[in-house]
Chain A
Amino acid sequence: MRRDAHTFGILFLSTFKLSAFTFGGGYVIIPLMRKQFVDRLGWLEEQEMLDLTAIAQSSPGPIAVNAAILLGYRVAGVPGALVTMLGTVIPPLVILSVISLFYDAFRSNPIISRVMKGMQAGVAAVIFDVVLTMAGQIIGRKRAVPIVTLAGAFIASWFFDVHILLILLACALIGLAQWRADTKKGASA
């Protein structure tokens, strides 16, 4: 666990930057966090990031805030969690405060809406980049159950609008069944 000023500084600046550029909230911030903390800083493992995402998803409140708290806790304990929480909350807090003052002008500004439209395409590209990498790793291991789970979860959520928590619960049960099957196999062999 790191608890020096330098680490807290990086934690705050990273989450602040990510939060300031994460449009639309929700899952969008996860690929960005992964890039920063797994790829660039190497503070977390790939698997850990996915686990933290699942936890952030299953606990109440905004996913971005939850994920930041979990990340901060992982790197530097409770003080780290407070730092990343503030880093995540301050950008929208400041931006929305300003917007609420200039609400009418902002709403009708054509240049702002064009820039936003462009950024939307950029955000979609960032998410696809990360999804390609992560799905590639799962498919690359060539085990049937995870690949089927990946496809099934996507179909359930995209085509049938199944609630995300139900999907996670079902997949947790699949994982548990797989684990029981594996341990039985191990015991008999």
Chain B
Amino acid sequence: MIYWQLLWSFFQIGLFSIGGGYAAMPLIQHQVVEVHPWLTLTEFTDIVTLSQMTPGPIAINSATFVGMRIAGVSGALVATAGCVLPSCVIALLLAWVYYRYRSLSAIQGVLGGVRPAVVAMIASAGLSILLLALFGSEAINLSMVDLRALGLFLAALASLRIFKPDPIWVMAGAGVLGGILYSL
């Protein structure tokens, strides 16, 4: 019974969270705090924080966390499966449509219009992460700038532009350096 509830709740979260990332947050809160007594609001807030500190989409993270707490490993698996099920079906359908019709010139026109916007979206996501790293929040306060984070950012960016390494190493390196710098 509890598995069915987990599956159904996270299926809805997966289905209705269009736009990804923080768009999913209110939906998750509604399902796991308000509809079902699975988490307290404090625990939910912790999930959001944890999601920023750990890899993976917030919807998957909260599915795993809630499932684990409510019904152990099988609960985590069921909740996560429910969360990705809508993606699997709809994204595959769209992929099929895209590869079938993308050579049409009208579709080309639409995609050509959308491409610069995608770059802009990525830029804006990157900027909010940079501000979070530099100021601890998205509010800019020049006297509060985190010089260590600024140094790490510039060093990482320079090494990426010049040496073109695998980005994974840059991030892991920044993590290790951060661990050392912030301990000084």
Contacts and interface: CB of A to CB of B under 8 A. Distances in A.
B84 interface: yes
B111 interface: yes
A89 B153 contact: no
Contact of A125 (B61, B174, B176): B174
22 contacts: A23-B52, A26-B21, A26-B22, A53-B118, A57-B118, A62-B20, A62-B60, A93-B80, A95-B56, A100-B65, A100-B76, A121-B134, A124-B126, A125-B154, A125-B157, A129-B161, A138-B116, A172-B110, A176-B106, A176-B110, A176-B113, A182-B109
A133 B61 CA distance: 31
Contacts, number: 379
B84 A126 contact: no
Main secondary structure of the interface of B (DSSP, over half): helix
Interface of B: 14-24, 46, 50-61, 64-65, 68-69, 73, 76-77, 80, 83-84, 86-88, 90-92, 94-96, 98-99, 102, 105-106, 108-127, 129-130, 132-134, 149-150, 152-154, 156-157, 160-161, 166-168, 170-179, 181-183
Contacts of A89: 60, 80, 84
A10 interface: no
A119 B178 contact: yes
B57 A175 contact: no
Contacts of A57: 19-20, 118, 121
